[in-house]
Amino acid sequence: MAGEYFTTSKSEQDQASWRALTLFSGYRLFLAAILFVVFYLELAPEFIGNKYPLLHHFVSLSYLMVAVLLMIFSSRHWGVFVTQCSIQLIIDIIALALIIHAAGGLQSGLGALLVVVVVAGGALIPGRLAVFIAAIATLSVLLEAVYAEFIGMGQSHFAQAGMLGAIFFITAVLAQLLSRTMQRSQLLAEQQAQDLNKLASLNQHIISRMQVAVLVLDEQGRVSLCNQSASQFMGIENVPSQFLLKQYIPELAEQIWRWKQHLPDPFEPFHARADLPELLARATQLDSGEVLVFIENTTAMAQQAQQLKLASLGRLTASIAHEIRNPLSAISHASELLAESLRDDDSVSKLTGIIQRHSVRMNNIIETILEMSRRKNVEPTVVVLSPWLEKLVDEYCEIKHIPPQQIVLTSSAPLARICTDEEQLHQVIWNLIDNAWHYADKEQEMPIEIRITLQSENIHIDVIDNGAGVSPQAMEHLFEPFHSERTGGTGLGLYLARELCQANGARLSYLPEFGSCFRISFPLQRQEFIQ
């Protein structure tokens, strides 16, 4: 990890150095153009090129052309950086030294141009090379002073040359120290920016993979972040990356507006579309002014809660059932012995018959309760409805000794598939068929019909009989436990069927038709359907 970090930092440092050299090349090109243009147009001060005009003209033109080439080399990162930078700085010193000479020497004041070159050397190249550039600049001004002394230009220029040399070395060292500090600060800032980007990317990845749906809204109600779960829950997979919430989910947008206005009970269960599950939102205000919205699938939550309820109920009822079963068996056995010993007594026989019937009924209730307690968790599999129901109907008719033509199976979606626990669905439909057969008018044609339909974004399984239907009095307690109009019934069949349907994400309802119709509805978005 350390090696990887060092390599990355080194590469970033080289890129920054090339950018700095390109910037200095731009300065060089500008300076060369000024030196050439102002002299060519006779706009320059008198001291520029006044001593040797021809030399100034030749050097400034050559410097301009070389500056263009060096600008290209720098921008394209040609060659090794240190070598390229050193060559360019030496060219600058030579060109500027000749321009200073053409202007009449150090008294022209153009020696200050060399300070910029030395500063650039200290900032761009490391260690001794920067000092070497300062030394070359110092040598150039000393040579100019020697030349002035040799041709006898009057006062000595050695003091001025020495002062410039000292300035060159001092500025080179200071520039180098400043450059190192700036580079470290820049690298640290860039590394921190990279860390922040990685952290933001990680957070984005975590949020996108969360099971909880998450939305982030800006102050204008525009969705700036929408994870995968939110897209699936609300059916907005193919929308723009940023969109106005009220254009796609107006009900949720209205609830968030109510929440911002501090109105009571702003969030209520809602449907993004009619075919999608029920959702519930919660929101919180971020420091940035954005709104973070969490969306939960209440259907899935209800399903999970239903499974937990069934498990808890099973454990409770199992313990109670075991405690009742032993004395009940004793009572039933005692009544049988009493009936055999007093077989000729009609009143005793009648009473023992009552005891036997109610003992059997109590035992059936206990068996049902124990069956509920032994219920395992939902294990969904894909079930192709039509052939599966045909097999179930044949099995029921064989066991109950019913003519097969008495139960008719019809389907408007022969290739419909559902994802459910096959064993639990078998128990539910078996119970519904058993109830239908008990209440059906067997003298009439087609007493029971099982119908598969696709309607309103749901797959329906209807179990229909031609009986009298459920009475208005019984409708209020239809799915409550221990309420039954059937003689000898436990009143737990429909209750257990509804609980199992809810555990599998389905819904069991009663439809008053000609006779009775119990409908199991599976949401289509949870299923597979082939046209």
Q: What's the pLDDT tens digit per position in 137-154?
A: 888 888 877 877 777 655
CATH code: domain of residue 391:
3.30.565.10
Integer Cα distance of 471 and 77 in angstroms: 91
What secondary structure, in 3-state letters, does 296-364 show?
EEHHHHHHHHHHHHHHHHHHHHHHHHHHHHHHHHHHHHHHHHHHHHCCCCHHHHHHHHHHHHHHHHHHH
Integer Cα distance of 270 and 255 in angstroms: 10
Q: Please indicate, yes or no, whether residues 508 and 479 belong to a single structural domain of this protein.
A: yes
Per-residue pLDDT of the chain (531 residues; tens, 9 = 90+): 333 333 344 566 677 778 888 888 888 888 888 888 877 776 656 667 677 888 888 888 898 899 899 889 888 888 888 888 888 888 988 888 888 888 877 777 777 888 888 888 877 887 778 788 888 888 888 887 787 777 765 555 677 777 877 888 887 788 778 877 877 787 788 788 888 888 777 766 766 666 678 888 888 888 888 887 777 777 777 666 677 888 888 888 888 888 988 888 888 888 777 667 778 888 888 888 888 888 887 766 666 666 676 667 666 666 666 667 667 777 777 777 766 766 666 666 677 777 777 677 677 666 666 665 555 667 888 899 999 999 999 999 988 888 888 899 998 888 888 888 888 888 899 989 988 888 888 877 778 999 999 876 788 999 998 887 787 777 777 777 666 666 555 567 788 888 888 888 888 888 876 678 899 998 875 444 433
Query: How many independent structural domains does the chain possess?
Result: 4
By C-alpha distance, which of 464, 491, 371 is closest to 423?
371
Q: Please indicate, yes or no, whether residues 125 and 44 belong to a single structural domain of this protein.
A: yes
The reply to whether 499 falls in a domain is yes
Integer Cα distance of 124 and 179 in angstroms: 8
Q: What share of the chain is helix, strand, coil (3-state, %, to 5)?
A: 60, 15, 25
126 neighbors 63 (Cβ within 8 angstroms): no
Last residue of a domain, one of 344, 373, 402: 373
CATH code: domain of residue 280:
3.30.450.20
Q: Please indicate, yes or no, whether residues 58 and 145 belong to a single structural domain of this protein.
A: yes
Integer Cα distance of 177 and 183 in angstroms: 10
The reply to whether 398 falls in a domain is yes
The reply to whether 206 falls in a domain is no
Q: Please indicate, yes or no, whether residues 245 and 314 belong to a single structural domain of this protein.
A: no
Q: Please indicate, yes or no, whether residues 312 and 294 belong to a single structural domain of this protein.
A: no
Exposure string of 394-412, with b = 16+ CB inside 10 Å and e = fewer, is eebbeeeebeeebbebebe
Q: Please indicate, yes or no, whether residues 233 and 155 belong to a single structural domain of this protein.
A: no
Q: Please indicate, yes or no, whether residues 363 and 386 belong to a single structural domain of this protein.
A: no
The reply to whether 203 falls in a domain is no
Last residue of a domain, one of 373, 408, 437: 373
Q: Please indicate, yes or no, whether residues 324 and 290 belong to a single structural domain of this protein.
A: no
Q: Please indicate, yes or no, whether residues 519 and 412 belong to a single structural domain of this protein.
A: yes
The reply to whether 354 falls in a domain is yes
The reply to whether 412 falls in a domain is yes
Q: Please indicate, yes or no, whether residues 311 and 277 belong to a single structural domain of this protein.
A: no
Q: Please indicate, yes or no, whether residues 229 and 96 belong to a single structural domain of this protein.
A: no
Q: Please indicate, yes or no, whether residues 364 and 386 belong to a single structural domain of this protein.
A: no
Question: Quick one: DSSP state of residue 382?
Answer: E
Last residue of a domain, one of 244, 266, 299: 299
Domain of 249, in residue numbers: 211-299
The reply to whether 154 falls in a domain is yes
